Structures are given as C-alpha cells and as structure tokens.
Amino acid sequence: MKHPKHERTLVLIKPDAVQRSLIGEIIKRYEQVGLKLVAMKFLVPTEDHIETHYTLDPAWRKVTGEKTIKGYVDKGLEPPEKDPHKVTEALLTKLKKYMTSGPIIAMVWQGAHAVAIVRKITGSTEPLMSDVGTIRGDFVLDSYQMTDSDGRSIRNLVHASGSVKEAEQEIPHWFSAKELIEYRLVQEQILYDVNLDGILE
Ligand code: GDP
Ligand code: MG
C-alpha cells in the first residue's frame, strides 16, 4: 500500500472566489496545513468540461438527486421534482452557467489524507451550514433557500474532490500526467520523517 503522504486531491477555485479576490487566501489555507501543490492552471472552462467533471461518476446524477430531495424533505419542504435525475439535470444546467462565468483555478494538492484534509478546510457544501474557520464558513453566506428562489447554483467558492476515488477520476480530467510535477518539498522532512534527524548540528 502507498504511504498516505502520496494522496492527491483536485481543488477548483470557482469564478466567485476569483471575483472576490480570494485566490491567495484560499491557496494559503491549503498551503499552511502542509499540503504540497503539484499542479495549477488558470482557465475559463467549457460547459462540456464542467458537465463531464460532475458526471465522471456514473452514480452522481442519482446520488446527488436523492441527496437534494432528502434535503428538502428534512426541512419539511416540497421538492421541486420527485425524479432524482430531473433534479440533478436542473442542478447541472445551473452549475455549467456558474462554472463557465469567468476564470477559475484548477489545482492538485498532495499530502497525507489530502482528500479529507482539504474537505475539512473547505467546509460543507451549503455556506449557511459550513463551520466557522472553514473557507466556505468564513468567506461566503449563500444558502439553498436563496439559490432556489433566485434559480442559480450555490456560490461556495471552491470545489474539492469528495473521496479518493473521485480525486483519481477528477485529476486526469483536468491535468495530463506531464502537468503533475513530482518534486520534494523541504517541509516534508518535518511532516513525514520518522526520526527527525538532521535538525541538530
Ligand atoms: P460538494 O462536493 O460539496 O461540492 O457537493 P456535491 O458534490 O454534493 O454537489 C456538487 C454541486 O451540486 C454543489 O456544489 C452544488 O452546486 C450542487 N448541489 C449539491 N447538493 C445540492 C442541494 O441539495 N441543493 C442544491 N440547490 N444544489 C446542490
Ligand atoms: Mg462533490
């Protein structure tokens, strides 16, 4: 089995975060925890690229539709649709509009438990519910209630892979093998070295 320090995850800094001048702040949070940046690009994605990104997992349409319907039911609200696939189709249309509205940054971060650590720092999907101290909790105030009445996607600043399997599908969708840079970061010695030798002279 590979050492956990080799785990990688995909992060997208979404158009709203770029417009709100949060690029540096967001990168800082992943950087300061000890993760290593292994790839980065600045681009305006196409709608096709975004649709493929969200549907890399063939179960995504069903799972996200069901999760969204459950969200309405749990709040005592009537879901807009009963068919999970129709719910997801409507989400996807709005996501494509949102994600292609301006430039974004795509990045790959590597380090021990990169997927879970990045999700923790990022916070939960709906900013209204995201914990204080997370990116979504600290820098944005959006809610499903507002996005539903305004007919748009939730603006939550960042996308981060939801699982190791998702990361393994998403990274090659955004980066070629050549764009992922293999290098040593000096701090890895302190984060991962078992003996911490070589500090004292
Ligand atoms: P993430 O991994 O935290 O971004 O969330 P998901 O992978 O579950 O969902 C992807 C995207 O679908 C989110 O960023 C939202 O734009 C949208 N989405 C997911 N769940 C819901 C929901 O319950 N309601 C609404 N309106 N949008 C949702
Ligand atoms: Mg997700």
Query: pLDDT tens across 90-145, in order?
Result: 999 999 999 999 999 999 999 999 999 999 999 999 999 999 999 999 999 999 99
Residues, CB-to-ion distance under 5 Å, ligand 2: 162
| Domain edges within the chain | 4-44+102-192, 46-89
* Amino acid identity, position 85: H
Give the residue whose CA is nearest to atom 5 of ligand 1: 125
CATH superfamily of the 4-44+102-192 domain:
Nucleoside diphosphate kinase-like domain (3.30.70.141)
* CA atoms in the 13 A half-sphere facing the CB of 161: 28
Composition of the chain by helix, strand, coil, percent to 5: 50, 10, 40
Give the residue whose CA is nearest to atom 15 of ligand 1: 154
Which of 50, 91, 97, 124 is the pocket-test mutation for ligand 1 (most atoms within 8 Å of CB)?
91
As beta bridge partners, residue 158 has 13
Any catalytic annotation for residue 159?
Answer: yes
Mean pLDDT over each residue of the chain, to the nearest integer: 96
Strand ranges in the chain using DSSP code E only, listed in sequence order:
8-13, 36-43, 104-110, 158-160
Pocket around ligand 1 at a 6 A CB cut-off:
64, 67-68, 71, 91, 95, 125, 144, 147, 153-154, 156, 159, 162
Tell me how far apart the terminal alpha carbons of the chain are, to the nearest angstrom.
35
In the reported structure, the alpha carbon of residue 91 is separated from the centroid of ligand 1 by a whole-number distance in angstroms of: 8
Nearest in space to 192 (alpha carbons), one of 22, 54, 34, 8: 34
In the reported structure, the alpha carbon of residue 194 is separated from the centroid of ligand 2 by a whole-number distance in angstroms of: 34
Query: pLDDT tens across 157-171, in order?
Result: 999 999 999 999 999
pLDDT at 198: 83
